[in-house]
Chains A and B, each alone.
Chain A
Protein backbone atom coordinates (compact mmCIF):
# COMPACT_ATOMS: atom_id res chain seq x y z
CA UNK A 1 0.00 0.00 0.00
CA UNK A 2 2.83 2.34 0.95
CA UNK A 3 4.65 1.48 -2.28
CA UNK A 4 1.55 2.23 -4.38
CA UNK A 5 1.05 5.57 -2.60
CA UNK A 6 4.70 6.40 -3.20
CA UNK A 7 4.31 5.62 -6.90
CA UNK A 8 1.18 7.72 -7.07
CA UNK A 9 3.02 10.62 -5.44
CA UNK A 10 5.96 10.21 -7.84
CA UNK A 11 3.61 10.31 -10.83
CA UNK A 12 1.96 13.48 -9.54
CA UNK A 13 5.33 15.17 -8.91
CA UNK A 14 6.56 14.15 -12.38
CA UNK A 15 3.41 15.45 -14.02
CA UNK A 16 3.55 18.74 -12.11
CA UNK A 17 7.19 19.24 -13.09
CA UNK A 18 6.38 18.63 -16.74
CA UNK A 19 3.38 20.95 -16.61
CA UNK A 20 5.40 23.74 -15.05
CA UNK A 21 7.79 23.67 -17.99
CA UNK A 22 5.22 23.30 -20.77
CA UNK A 23 4.26 26.96 -21.26
CA UNK A 24 7.85 28.07 -21.91
CA UNK A 25 9.14 25.01 -23.72
CA UNK A 26 6.29 23.91 -25.96
CA UNK A 27 6.73 23.82 -29.70
CA UNK A 28 5.69 27.17 -31.11
CA UNK A 29 3.16 27.56 -33.87
CA UNK A 30 5.07 27.72 -37.19
CA UNK A 31 5.04 31.36 -38.40
CA UNK A 32 4.16 30.49 -41.99
CA UNK A 33 0.67 29.21 -41.18
CA UNK A 34 -2.56 30.97 -42.04
CA UNK A 35 -4.73 32.01 -39.06
CA UNK A 36 -7.01 28.99 -39.62
CA UNK A 37 -4.08 26.57 -39.77
CA UNK A 38 -2.43 28.18 -36.72
CA UNK A 39 -5.66 27.61 -34.79
CA UNK A 40 -5.78 24.01 -36.05
CA UNK A 41 -2.15 23.52 -34.92
CA UNK A 42 -2.97 24.65 -31.38
CA UNK A 43 -6.26 22.74 -31.31
CA UNK A 44 -4.51 19.52 -32.35
CA UNK A 45 -2.21 19.84 -29.34
CA UNK A 46 -5.19 20.35 -27.04
CA UNK A 47 -6.92 17.29 -28.50
CA UNK A 48 -3.83 15.17 -27.89
CA UNK A 49 -3.60 16.43 -24.31
CA UNK A 50 -7.26 15.63 -23.70
CA UNK A 51 -6.68 12.23 -25.30
CA UNK A 52 -4.14 11.45 -22.57
CA UNK A 53 -6.79 12.12 -19.93
CA UNK A 54 -9.42 10.03 -21.73
CA UNK A 55 -7.04 7.16 -22.56
CA UNK A 56 -5.79 6.98 -18.98
CA UNK A 57 -9.36 6.78 -17.71
CA UNK A 58 -10.23 4.03 -20.19
CA UNK A 59 -7.10 2.03 -19.38
CA UNK A 60 -7.61 2.49 -15.64
CA UNK A 61 -11.14 1.16 -15.95
CA UNK A 62 -9.83 -1.85 -17.88
CA UNK A 63 -7.35 -2.89 -15.15
CA UNK A 64 -8.11 -5.93 -13.04
CA UNK A 65 -9.29 -4.92 -10.52
CA UNK A 66 -10.43 -1.61 -12.08
CA UNK A 67 -8.76 1.56 -10.81
CA UNK A 68 -11.68 3.65 -12.03
CA UNK A 69 -15.37 2.81 -12.04
CA UNK A 70 -17.18 2.52 -15.35
CA UNK A 71 -19.41 5.41 -14.28
CA UNK A 72 -16.43 7.72 -13.69
CA UNK A 73 -14.83 6.63 -16.96
CA UNK A 74 -18.07 7.38 -18.77
CA UNK A 75 -18.05 10.90 -17.32
CA UNK A 76 -14.47 11.43 -18.53
CA UNK A 77 -15.22 10.06 -22.00
CA UNK A 78 -18.34 12.20 -22.31
CA UNK A 79 -16.46 15.30 -21.18
CA UNK A 80 -13.72 14.52 -23.70
CA UNK A 81 -16.23 14.04 -26.50
CA UNK A 82 -18.08 17.26 -25.67
CA UNK A 83 -14.81 19.18 -25.40
CA UNK A 84 -13.71 18.05 -28.85
CA UNK A 85 -17.05 18.95 -30.38
CA UNK A 86 -16.86 22.41 -28.78
CA UNK A 87 -13.31 22.93 -30.08
CA UNK A 88 -14.37 21.85 -33.55
CA UNK A 89 -17.52 23.97 -33.56
CA UNK A 90 -16.05 27.16 -32.13
CA UNK A 91 -12.50 26.89 -33.49
CA UNK A 92 -11.16 29.64 -31.27
CA UNK A 93 -12.23 31.03 -27.87
CA UNK A 94 -13.41 27.75 -26.33
CA UNK A 95 -11.04 27.90 -23.34
CA UNK A 96 -13.56 29.07 -20.74
CA UNK A 97 -16.09 26.43 -21.79
CA UNK A 98 -13.53 23.64 -21.53
CA UNK A 99 -12.16 24.83 -18.19
CA UNK A 100 -15.64 25.11 -16.71
CA UNK A 101 -16.47 21.63 -17.97
CA UNK A 102 -13.26 20.28 -16.48
CA UNK A 103 -14.09 21.88 -13.11
CA UNK A 104 -17.55 20.28 -13.18
CA UNK A 105 -16.11 16.91 -14.16
CA UNK A 106 -13.63 16.90 -11.26
CA UNK A 107 -16.28 18.11 -8.81
CA UNK A 108 -18.50 15.16 -9.75
CA UNK A 109 -15.86 12.46 -9.31
CA UNK A 110 -15.32 10.42 -6.13
CA UNK A 111 -12.22 11.81 -4.33
CA UNK A 112 -10.11 8.65 -4.70
CA UNK A 113 -10.74 8.48 -8.45
CA UNK A 114 -10.24 12.21 -8.83
CA UNK A 115 -6.76 11.83 -7.27
CA UNK A 116 -5.77 9.23 -9.85
CA UNK A 117 -6.73 11.53 -12.71
CA UNK A 118 -5.40 14.72 -11.11
CA UNK A 119 -2.09 14.91 -13.06
CA UNK A 120 -3.89 14.47 -16.38
CA UNK A 121 -6.58 16.99 -15.46
CA UNK A 122 -3.86 19.47 -14.52
CA UNK A 123 -2.04 18.81 -17.78
CA UNK A 124 -5.23 19.46 -19.76
CA UNK A 125 -5.87 22.63 -17.75
CA UNK A 126 -2.30 23.87 -18.35
CA UNK A 127 -2.58 23.25 -22.08
CA UNK A 128 -5.91 25.06 -22.24
CA UNK A 129 -4.56 28.03 -20.29
CA UNK A 130 -1.50 28.19 -22.52
CA UNK A 131 -3.67 28.85 -25.58
CA UNK A 132 -5.47 31.85 -24.06
Chain B
Protein backbone atom coordinates (compact mmCIF):
# COMPACT_ATOMS: atom_id res chain seq x y z
CA UNK B 1 0.00 0.00 0.00
CA UNK B 2 1.40 3.45 -0.86
CA UNK B 3 2.66 5.19 2.29
CA UNK B 4 0.47 8.26 1.78
CA UNK B 5 -2.69 6.13 1.65
CA UNK B 6 -1.55 4.13 4.67
CA UNK B 7 -0.99 7.40 6.53
CA UNK B 8 -4.42 8.73 5.54
CA UNK B 9 -6.10 5.54 6.79
CA UNK B 10 -4.06 5.64 10.00
CA UNK B 11 -4.96 9.28 10.72
CA UNK B 12 -8.66 9.00 9.89
CA UNK B 13 -9.91 7.84 13.33
CA UNK B 14 -8.08 10.70 15.06
CA UNK B 15 -9.40 13.27 12.60
CA UNK B 16 -12.97 11.95 12.86
CA UNK B 17 -12.74 11.90 16.67
CA UNK B 18 -11.48 15.48 16.72
CA UNK B 19 -14.20 16.69 14.33
CA UNK B 20 -16.97 14.85 16.22
CA UNK B 21 -15.89 16.56 19.42
CA UNK B 22 -15.44 19.95 17.74
CA UNK B 23 -18.85 19.93 16.05
CA UNK B 24 -20.79 18.14 18.79
CA UNK B 25 -24.06 19.75 19.80
CA UNK B 26 -24.82 19.31 23.46
CA UNK B 27 -28.23 17.74 24.05
CA UNK B 28 -30.50 20.13 26.01
CA UNK B 29 -30.97 17.52 28.75
CA UNK B 30 -27.27 16.78 29.00
CA UNK B 31 -25.73 18.32 32.13
CA UNK B 32 -23.10 20.99 31.51
CA UNK B 33 -19.58 19.90 32.44
CA UNK B 34 -18.44 21.15 35.81
CA UNK B 35 -15.34 23.25 36.39
CA UNK B 36 -13.68 20.19 37.91
CA UNK B 37 -14.50 18.03 34.84
CA UNK B 38 -13.05 20.60 32.47
CA UNK B 39 -9.91 21.23 34.52
CA UNK B 40 -9.31 17.48 34.88
CA UNK B 41 -9.78 16.96 31.12
CA UNK B 42 -7.27 19.73 30.42
CA UNK B 43 -4.73 18.25 32.84
CA UNK B 44 -5.09 14.78 31.28
CA UNK B 45 -4.82 16.11 27.72
CA UNK B 46 -1.75 18.20 28.60
CA UNK B 47 0.11 15.51 30.51
CA UNK B 48 -0.56 12.66 28.08
CA UNK B 49 0.39 14.83 25.13
CA UNK B 50 3.67 15.99 26.67
CA UNK B 51 4.43 12.37 27.63
CA UNK B 52 4.05 11.31 23.99
CA UNK B 53 6.44 14.08 22.88
CA UNK B 54 8.99 13.03 25.48
CA UNK B 55 8.70 9.36 24.54
CA UNK B 56 9.23 10.09 20.84
CA UNK B 57 12.16 12.44 21.49
CA UNK B 58 13.77 9.88 23.79
CA UNK B 59 13.41 7.19 21.11
CA UNK B 60 14.86 9.48 18.42
CA UNK B 61 17.84 11.27 19.96
CA UNK B 62 19.53 13.86 17.79
CA UNK B 63 22.85 12.47 16.55
Cross-chain contact B24 with A37 (CB below 8 angstroms) = no
Contact A40-B10, Cβ < 8 Å, known A58-B56, A81-B50: no
Q: In the complex, which residues of chain B have a beta carbon less than 8 angstroms from the beta carbon of A50?
A: 49
Across the interface, name the chain A residue whose C-beta is closest to B41: A44
CA distance A56 to B60 in the complex (A): 16
- CB-contacts of B32-63 with A (<8 A): 32-35, 38-39, 41-42, 45-46, 49-50, 52-54, 56-57, 60, 62
Number of interface residues, chain B, beta carbon within 8 A: 38
Residue A30 at the B interface, CB < 8 A? yes
Summarize B's interface: helix, strand, loop or mixed.
helix
Residue B29 at the A interface, CB < 8 A? no
Contact A34-B35, Cβ < 8 Å, known A55-B14, A60-B7, A64-B3: yes
Cross-chain contact B5 with A40 (CB below 8 angstroms) = no
Distance in Å: Cβ of A97 to nearest Cβ of chain B: 16
Contact A47-B57, Cβ < 8 Å, known A4-B4, A34-B35, A65-B3: no
Q: A36 touches which one: B15, B39, B49 (CB < 8 A)?
A: B39
CA distance A32 to B38 in the complex (A): 11
Cross-chain contact A8 with B4 (CB below 8 angstroms) = yes
Other than the known A26-B23, A33-B33, A66-B3, what 20 A-B pairs have Cβ atoms closer than 8 Å? A7-B5, A7-B8, A25-B22, A27-B24, A27-B25, A33-B38, A38-B38, A40-B42, A41-B33, A44-B45, A45-B21, A51-B14, A54-B52, A55-B14, A60-B7, A74-B57, A74-B60, A77-B57, A81-B50, A85-B50
Which A residues contact B (CB, under 8 angstroms)?
3-4, 7-8, 11, 18, 22, 25-27, 30-34, 36-38, 40-41, 43-45, 47-52, 54-56, 58-60, 63-67, 70, 73-74, 77-78, 80-81, 84-85, 87-88, 116
